[in-house]
Structure 1
Amino acid sequence: MTELDRIDRNILTLLQADCSVTNVQLSEQVGLSPPACLKRVKRLTEEGYITRQVALVAPQKLGSMLHMVVEVFMERDHKQLFQDFAKKVQATPEVKQSYQVTGEVDFVLIVMVKDMEAYETLCDRLLYSHPNVRKFRTLISMKRDKFETSVEVR
């Protein structure tokens, strides 16, 4: 894997802010010719620095949604049971993010559902049915004060 130079880091920073820029616009911003810039973007993608290019949708424009943080406490500290739960989480579209964490809590899930009925269905399917889930705690978001998808490129 190639070490990132200043231009690579600049490309990654600019694409995180707006990946819809054209290659010509991007090349002008980083000071490269369009072919050289395209070659770098292709290399950054092939090397796994760029994993996807997506559109961020404003959820409030699509109607009412509940955003929840769910803390999951497991019964036993067993690697295979944790992996089974993580696999089930991966297959659950309402779970938008999942973190296996240290401390009292074992997993933190970020969940988006239409309403409480949908959340209850999710709990039945994901949490109550898993043999290693001891308990879980749900925090309902009242307001999103900050949402960032970018990472600092060093």
Structure 2
Amino acid sequence: MTRAPASPRKRPLDSFDRAILRILQRDNKTPQRTIAEAVNLSAAAVQRRVAAMEDAGIIKKNVAIVSTQAVQMSITSIVQVQLVDERRQTVDKAKALFAQAPEVQQCYYVTGGISFVLVVVAPDMVVYEAITRRLFADNDTVKSYGSLIALDRVKTGAEIVIPGA
């Protein structure tokens, strides 16, 4: 269940919050009593803090990371996309399209001569070609795109380094 707003509200994180976040990033199914013991708080205090961080948008979502091999998604591609222009409506249209596409695992609006970098998954090249046609080739906001097909997933995940004590 996701209760987070679109962008995190200001809420200062103390050392307890940071310690809780580190544990939850490794395994968000860690029992609250186990977290409480690790950070020297009560289970009720951990529960309140987690709920507050969810409400503030600090914890954006609780998800399962699924093996691409287990679900036969053998193609992973990093796609660089250059838009025809960088006007707000062009960028917003591309953002909306890429965000709703279920094959797009990650999407970044970037600087440096290209507009977007996406991570796209597909079961095979036939499906991947159809995805590229739908999202890029037949898209009037896209000037050009290039794909890099991953040979191996060396490291994936969503864990970030949380600074502080």
Q: Which runs of 4+ in 1 moved over 6 A?
A: none
Please give the per-residue CA displacement for 1:77-126, whole angstroms capped at 9, x wherever unaligned. Answer: 22211110111111111111111111111111100001111111112211
Aligned position for 2:162: 153
Residue aligned with 1:10, SS? helix
Aligned position for 1:35: 44
Distance, in Å, in 2 between the alignment partners of 1:139 and 1:121 is: 16
The letter of the residue matching 1:43 is A
Distance, in Å, in 2 between the alignment partners of 1:43 and 1:132 is: 40
Structure 1 residue corresponding to 2:28, chosen from 1, 5, 19: 19
- Scaled by the length of structure 2, the TM-score of the pair is 0.88
Aligned position for 1:138: 147
What residue ranges of structure 2 are gaps of 5+ in the alignment?
Answer: 1-9
Correspondences of 1:34-113 after superposition (within 5 Å) = 34-113=43-122
Q: 1:60 to 1:83 in 2, by over 3 A?
A: same
Which structure carries more helix by proportion?
1
C-alpha RMSD over aligned residues: 1.2
Distance, in Å, in 1 between the alignment partners of 2:45 and 2:69 is: 39
Distance, in Å, in 2 between the alignment partners of 1:2 and 1:94 is: 33
Distance, in Å, in 2 between the alignment partners of 1:138 and 1:102 is: 18
Distance, in Å, in 2 between the alignment partners of 1:77 and 1:2 is: 33
The letter of the residue matching 1:124 is R
The letter of the residue matching 1:137 is G
Distance, in Å, in 2 between the alignment partners of 1:127 and 1:2 is: 39
Tell whether the 8 Å contact from 2:73 to 2:121 is kept in structure 1 after alignment. Answer: no
C-alpha deviation, 1:62, in angstroms: 2.2
Residue aligned with 1:85, SS? helix
C-alpha deviation, 1:63, in angstroms: 2.5
Please give the per-residue CA displacement for 1:22-66, whole angstroms capped at 9, x wherever unaligned. Answer: 111111111111111111111111111111111111212222510
Structure 1 residue corresponding to 2:126, chosen from 109, 117, 122: 117
Aligned sequence identity (%):
31
Distance, in Å, in 2 between the alignment partners of 1:2 and 1:147 is: 28
Residue aligned with 1:9, SS? helix
